[in-house]
A and B are shown apart, each in its own frame.
Chain A
Amino acid sequence: MKVCLVGNPNCGKTTLFNALTGLNQKVGNYSGVTVDKFSGSFKSQGQTIELVDLPGTYSLYPNSEDEVVVYNVLVNDVSQQPDVVVLVLNASQIRRSLILATQVMQLEIPCVIAINMVDEVNEHDCLLYKKKIEHYFSVPVCLISATQQKGLSSLKQKLHESKQVTLPYEPAWQELHHQLSDTFEREATYKDYVTYCLSNQILLPKQKQKSISSIQQNHRYSTTKAMSMDIRERYKIINELLKQTIESKPNPKLTQTQNIDRILTHKVFGLPIALVVMYLLFQAIFSFSSYPMDFVEQLFVWMSNIAQASIPEGWIQDLIINGILAGLSGVLVFIPQIAVLFGLLAILEGTGYLARISFMLDRLMRKFGLSGRAVLPMMSGFACAIPAVMATRTISSWKERLISIMVIPLLSCSARLPVYILLIGMFIPEEKVFLFIGLQGLTMMAFYIAGLLLALLIAGILQRILGASDQQYFIMELPTYRFPQWRNVLLTMYQKAKIFAVEAGKVIFVISIVLWILATFGPANEMSLVHQEFTQLEQTNNGLTPEQEKLYSQELLLHSFAGKIGKTIEPVIQPLGYDWKIGIALLTSFAAREVFVGTMATIYSVEYNEDNPTPLQERLKSEKDPETGKPIYSVATIVSLLIFFAFAMQCMSTLAIVYRETKSWKWPFIQLLYMTVLAYALSFAAFQLLH
């Protein structure tokens, strides 16, 4: 049996989904659409029931990409239609919740109603709601509290009792109904009405499109008006039905929320509080995630030691340690940080505070062609651009959404952090300013802020270029404050980390192996010449000095494929202060930033065939230009490199996701172009100025 969960945003649908499916859930894709499909399963009465959590929406009429899914699954695409729909209602907003519910009931799909959050409304009213709804609509109703896990078994049982609801369809707009019936040569159904209303927004199958276009041409029935009338008529019936249950005393939760808001969105303190929260967020990432990151690194050192001991020396051992294991660790080491940030964001969202941040920042965002809805995607961008770009699906305006997608990669994602740490540590001392703020930390924050400022700047420019968009609205419900559900938070962390691990992970892993191949092998004749030269030297002198060992590795690298590529692009990157070795690292990190540090380690340790105890930073600082004798990693070069990494588009996975979300190669191409030009220009300027 296939069951779908349908309901308003903030009605506890996801909590219910998590409560029913536990860990038996997965994230996939709806066919043809880029929205994540959350599906899971549970057992009831011997059957395995497949449960799908549809995105929250206020009505069948979608206002954004993710809401379109609800329409597609329930109305448009027959193959995706569920066997039963569970309509999740919010007990404290029962009338509003019933709008969507009655719409779905009229689609002639078997339904069960679950009135959720009954712990927030007094028992008498809940029972009254249940009785009246059951009686009027002839549909099974149960009272549940997903957070307290109450009523769930009753819900599971009712799934088997669901039957098609025969709600008499009274068309809200008689004239339109007649036209539809005439055109389709049969009595028009509610589905037809809905399809007409959405004919301007959604591409319909050719045949339907033709008939509907003819109605539009001849009669011009306003789709907006048709939708409004539908909803108003519904509400009249709902209001009439629940008239006797109008509570005289106001919902205490509303008063509580208002009191909290008095502080959190306070005229003077509101924004500083938000800034403190955001600062704490980033602090938490750096602190919490360093332990798991160390653990992952230790794990891989341990595994490579085993590999070294158990696998015979040779290129297979080398491939496994320096190619495969290095590649894997390069992916896994980032997961803790990404998971932690998404966990914290999930907590913020679960409490309802995130909506307040969007509310407070909306006016500022507007100046840059964005809106409050872009706040969550942009905050996510500081963890990883991939889920962040996906999160833009809740933005209703296409232009706003596009601008957000185009600038999100400018925000410093977690992949840049190791690069920042490595390079900043090379020229900024560990001193403290103002007693407790570290200079290094301050510099790091400067780069994070620079990314944000540049993102806003580019957004503003894009807004000018793309032109004034058609009227866009920012009308958003501010949910009542509540405690976050830890199960939801943990599952969100898992889901987002998984997106990163799969989407970015596959690129990182492959690139690491490709790099290993390129750096180990070169044109056969050249490589053998180098081997000959140094084996001879070794024999004549009975061993090689450390200097000679270093030279040996250097020559091998120079003549490898990687070296050749690096040398080829050297002239292009010299104005930025880079040499051919940095060139190799830049090339590999163009596919994924995460491999930069690993590549540097490979390039400089490939030169040492023995254990290298010196930390990479020291090694880099000692690197000298063979011609001038001056250190390669001057302050100018380091700053230039930092700036390049801050602003360049070095993530193939992000480009792939942007392609999927914008459904065209044009936008990822433009993104790659503008960010590369931007990074090059700024690095060039930095190097030349500091040189």
Chain B
Amino acid sequence: MTVDQLRIGQKGKIKQFYQEKIALLMNELGIFQGEMIEVTSRSPLGDPICVKTPELFLSIRQCDAQYIEIEL
């Protein structure tokens, strides 16, 4: 299951990133494999979504979120 498939309020543990560049951008922000990630809200226009990790909030587009694999 990927992050863009999560509903608001659902959380999951990051299994892997399917794109190297996404992995790099997330890693730079301190988000790695094994971290918990939760979808907290969505922009009024539908996209991007706001996700929460133990340390911060992140805005990410759904088309980018599909490359983050998680397990519930």
Contact = CB atoms under 8 A, between A and B. Distances in A.
Q: Are these two chains actual partners, yes or no? A: yes
Interface string B20-64: 111111111110100000001111111110101011111111001
B24 A58 contact: no
A473 B28 contact: no
Nearest to B40: A258
Contacts of B41: 261-262, 265
A228 B25 CA distance: 9
A96 B30 contact: yes
Given A232-B32, A475-B29, A271 B44 contact: yes
A226 to B, nearest CB: 10
15 contacts: A96-B29, A232-B32, A235-B30, A235-B32, A251-B55, A257-B57, A262-B41, A360-B43, A363-B46, A473-B22, A474-B48, A475-B59, A478-B50, A478-B59, A479-B57
A228 B64 contact: no
Interface of A: 58-59, 61, 63, 92-93, 95-96, 99, 222, 224-225, 227-228, 231-232, 235, 250-251, 254, 257-258, 261-262, 265-268, 270-271, 355, 358-364, 372, 471, 473-480
B31 to A, nearest CB: 8
- Chain B contact residues: over half helix, strand or loop, or mixed? mixed
A480 B20 CA distance: 28
A474 B30 CA distance: 16
A270 B44 contact: yes
What is the predominant secondary structure among interface residues of chain A facing chain B?
helix
Nearest to A239: B32
Nearest to B65: A475
A125 B23 CA distance: 29
Contacts of A358: 59
A364 B45 contact: yes
B48 A228 contact: no
Given A258-B57, A265-B41, A471-B21, A58 B28 contact: yes
A658 to B, nearest CB: 29
Given A258-B40, A265-B43, A477-B29, A228 B20 contact: yes
B27 A363 contact: no
Contacts of B61: 362, 473-475
A231 B27 contact: yes
Contacts of A360: 43-45
A254 B55 CA distance: 8
Contact of B58 (A265, A363, A364, A477): A477
Contacts of B28: 58-59, 61, 99, 231
B60 A474 contact: yes
Interface of B: 20-30, 32, 40-48, 50, 52, 54-61, 64
Determine which residue in A361, A363, A480 has the highest number of CB atoms from chain B within 10 A of its CB, and name it: A363
A228 B23 contact: yes
Contacts of A265: 41, 43-44, 50
A475 B25 contact: yes
Contacts of B56: 93, 96, 254, 477-478
Contacts of A271: 44-45
Given A261-B40, A471-B21, A363 B48 contact: yes
Nearest to A234: B27
A454 B42 CA distance: 28
Contact of A476 (B40, B46, B58): B58
B26 to A, nearest CB: 7
A267 B40 CA distance: 12
B36 to A, nearest CB: 11
A225 B54 CA distance: 25
A256 to B, nearest CB: 12
A96 B32 CA distance: 10
A358 B47 CA distance: 11
A362 B52 contact: no
Contacts of B44: 265-268, 270-271, 360
A531 to B, nearest CB: 67
B59 A254 contact: no
B30 to A, nearest CB: 3
A99 B30 contact: yes
A473 B20 contact: no
A362 B63 CA distance: 13
A355 B48 CA distance: 12
A359 B58 CA distance: 10
Of the listed residues A261, A473, A475, the one surrounded by the most CB atoms of chain B closer than 10 A to its CB is A475
A361 B61 CA distance: 12
A471 B50 CA distance: 20
A477 B20 contact: no
Given A254-B57, A475-B58, A227 B24 contact: yes
A92 B43 contact: no
Contacts of B46: 363
A358 B43 CA distance: 10
A362 B59 contact: yes
A224 B48 CA distance: 24
B57 to A, nearest CB: 4
B9 to A, nearest CB: 11
Contacts of A262: 41
A93 B54 CA distance: 9
A495 to B, nearest CB: 27
A95 B64 CA distance: 24
Contacts of A268: 44
A61 to B, nearest CB: 7
A363 B43 CA distance: 9
A475 B26 contact: yes
5 tightest Cβ-Cβ pairs between the two chains A and B = A96-B30, A58-B28, A478-B57, A363-B45, A224-B20
A425 to B, nearest CB: 38
Contacts of A58: 28-29
Given A96-B30, A271-B45, 14 more contacts: A63-B25, A93-B55, A96-B29, A231-B27, A258-B52, A261-B40, A261-B57, A270-B43, A359-B48, A362-B43, A362-B45, A474-B61, A475-B59, A478-B57
